[in-house]
Amino acid sequence: MARHLITSALPYINGIKHLGNLVGSQLPADLYARYLRAREHEVMFICATDEHGTPAELAAAKTGEAVADYCARMHAEQSALAAGFGLSFDHYGRSSSDRNRVLTQHFAGKLADNGYIAEVSEKQVYSVDDGRFLPDRYIEGTCPNCGYDKARGDQCENCTKQLDPTDLINPRSAISGSTNLEVRETKHLYLRQSALKGQISDWIDSKTDWPILTTSIARKWLDDGEGLQDRGITRDLHWGVPVKRGDQPWPGMEGKVFYVWFDAPIEYIAATAEWADAHGQPDSAWRRWWRRDEGAEDVTYTQFMGKDNVPFHTLSFPATLIGSGEPWRMVDYIKSFNYLTYDGGQFSTSQGRGVFMDHALEILPADYWRWWLLSHAPESGDSEFTWDNFQQSVNKDLADVLGNFVSRITKFCRSKFGETVPQGGDYGPEETALIEALTARIRAYEALMAATEIRKSAAELRAIWVLGNEYLQSAAPWSTHKTDPEKAAMQVRLGLNLIRLYAVLSAPFIPFAADAMLAAMQTDDRAWPDDVAAALTALPPGHAFAVPDVLFAKISDDQRAEWEDRFKGVRT
């Protein structure tokens, strides 16, 4: 049994996440975790809400809540939605946790001890009326490029141009609206990534199996322009991890906090420690996943994320781990994704564009969304969500192929043999051929899942479902029963066992439907089909079953039209 550490990029705390966020990290990570558990590997699947930084403060200000209260409320909402989508985290933590505070300060102290932290004087915008320095996102004004009057100090959301606060026309504080702004000098801490470039470059070069998307982004940041740059790791904010050197004050850094992108990845480690705390485990329980000198040497660590997060996970977080000089577990494989677009544009939390997780669960069960998103995962390029494609995929794959198979075989058996698995009959050439074809397909499915080839795995799983339908159509037990009831009994028995087999194989993709299939077969036998022929005898003659409710209802044209109109890109 192998040990697998899995992390998905931390969803930001400011609001409900959309389907693009879901398919870009958490959902494929869950698929992989569920598959590995089904193969009886030891899995630690970690995620958390990313709670620091300016967007959290601004979002809280809009609701009138204290930022800590806002983050606590949104963590609860995001946790509930994650459960609603069946995301099987071992722990869903918070980057505002005490564990993360202690670990972040620990890493900063180690980096400073090793010479990888520099104090840099720089000029920033200061709001006289607010009495504070304003980070980029706390400054709004008119974009000099397109004239948009709500551009932020780091980027214009309208034209996407990268900006500096001093570029804005008529800049104002996003906190108070004050235009009484000055440019003042302040000091910040920088992580000397440039001093670690050689070690990071060698490490990336050793990852020959990484997706091209991952390595190309990492190489672009390493080699383009002036190469890997030192990065500021502190901000003038009230909400965040206080700047300390270990547990000691950091002279000159009073009132500052660590930059969110410094402390957020450290939360992967902290959340694992939170898991240990929640289960009454000692520190050794989480350190065996993260410290190579305490048992993590045999751990395989896989990260899942959207392509926008790749630079931080291939450069900045590795720089933190390497620069600490401590034997932390480095990531083995980074599975990165392109974007899922909606109606010809980007999903956007800030602009409320697209289908969001709460609305998705309001209109359909989670497995409908899980199947479409995973079978259309944006791996080799961007994917586009359209309601027409969603309707076709649900109706053809889930309703016509899988759902129809389950319905036909259970209803026919009930009508001819009752609600128990029938006995009698022996396999013939057709059944032998089916077992051979299933075996080949399942072995291919296993290889694709192990390689995190998400779309190809979904296609292979669908092909496995199709084999059962083709067999049922060819064997036609409803006709065979008229002349050879014994043979029909064998065909039906094989079909009922296929339902259990399909539940086991499909559980990583559609866990709720898989549970319903197993419940209908009145079994909790989830043994993986290492021997397909043996797996097809798991439900013996006389075993009771029930005809399940409709596994997947088809999406009507009227429903599709209604949802197209409701979700035109603006969240209501």
What are the tens digits of pLDDT across the range 406-464?
A: 999 999 999 999 999 999 999 999 999 999 999 999 999 999 999 999 999 999 999 99
Structure confidence by residue, pLDDT tens digits, 76-117: 999 999 999 999 999 999 999 999 999 999 999 999 999 999
Nearest to 376 by CA among 11, 22, 8, 10: 22
Model confidence band, residue 571 (pLDDT cutoffs 50, 70, 90): very low
For residue 151, the number of C-alpha atoms closer than 13 Å in the C-beta half-sphere is: 27
Q: Which residue numbers belong to the known binding site for Zn(2+)?
A: 143, 146, 156, 159
Q: Which residue numbers belong to the known binding site?
A: 143, 146, 156, 159, 349
The confidence score (pLDDT) of residue 350 equals 60
This prediction's pTM: 0.94
Rounded distance between C-alpha atoms, residue 195 and residue 178, angstroms? 40
Q: Which residue numbers belong to the known binding site for ATP?
A: 349
Phi, psi values for residue 135, rounded to 5°: -60, 165
Tell me the percentage of the chain whose pLDDT exceeds 70.
98
Domain positions in the chain are 3-114+199-204+262-337, 117-191, 384-535
The confidence score (pLDDT) of residue 474 equals 96
| Assigned token pair, 304 | 């899942």
Phi, psi values for residue 346, rounded to 5°: -85, 145
Rounded distance between C-alpha atoms, residue 82 and residue 88, angstroms? 8
Fold assignment, 3-114+199-204+262-337: Rossmann fold (3.40.50)
User: Residue 57 above 70 pLDDT?
Assistant: yes
User: Residue 13 above 50 pLDDT?
Assistant: yes
Average pLDDT for 175-197: 93
Model confidence band, residue 567 (pLDDT cutoffs 50, 70, 90): confident
User: Residue 569 above 70 pLDDT?
Assistant: no
Class of domain 117-191: mainly beta
Average pLDDT for 276-285: 98
Kindly report the length of the chain: 572
Please say whether the beta carbons of 192 and 117 come within 8 A. Answer: yes
Rounded distance between C-alpha atoms, residue 290 and residue 299, angstroms? 8
Model confidence band, residue 228 (pLDDT cutoffs 50, 70, 90): confident
Average pLDDT for 130-147: 89
The confidence score (pLDDT) of residue 572 equals 42
Average pLDDT for 401-410: 98
Rounded distance between C-alpha atoms, residue 175 and residue 61, angstroms? 8
Query: Does the fold of domain 384-535 match that of domain 3-114+199-204+262-337?
Result: no
If residue 171 lies in a helix (H) or strand (E), which one and from where to where? strand 169-173
Average pLDDT score, the chain: 94
User: Residue 494 above 90 pLDDT?
Assistant: yes
Structure confidence by residue, pLDDT tens digits, 526-537: 999 999 999 999
The confidence score (pLDDT) of residue 212 equals 93
Q: What is the DSSP string of 136-159?
A: GGGEEEE-TTT--TTEESSB-TTT
Rounded distance between C-alpha atoms, residue 261 and residue 27, angstroms? 22
Rounded distance between C-alpha atoms, residue 195 and residue 322, angstroms? 11
Average pLDDT for 144-158: 89
User: Residue 156 above 90 pLDDT?
Assistant: no
The confidence score (pLDDT) of residue 137 equals 79
Q: Quickly tell me which residue has 């057709």 as its tokens.
A: 430
Using CB atoms within 10 A of its CB, is residue 164 exposed (0-12), middle (13-18) or buried (19+)? Answer: exposed
Structure confidence by residue, pLDDT tens digits, 370-400: 999 999 999 999 999 999 999 999 999 999 9
Q: How many CB atoms lie within 10 A of CB 379?
A: 18
Partnered with residue 281 across adjacent β-strands are: none
Show Cβ contacts of residue 306 under 8 Å, excluding neighbours closer than 6 positions: 9, 20, 21, 24, 25, 336, 337, 338, 339
User: Residue 225 above 90 pLDDT?
Assistant: no
Architecture of domain 384-535: Orthogonal Bundle (1.10)
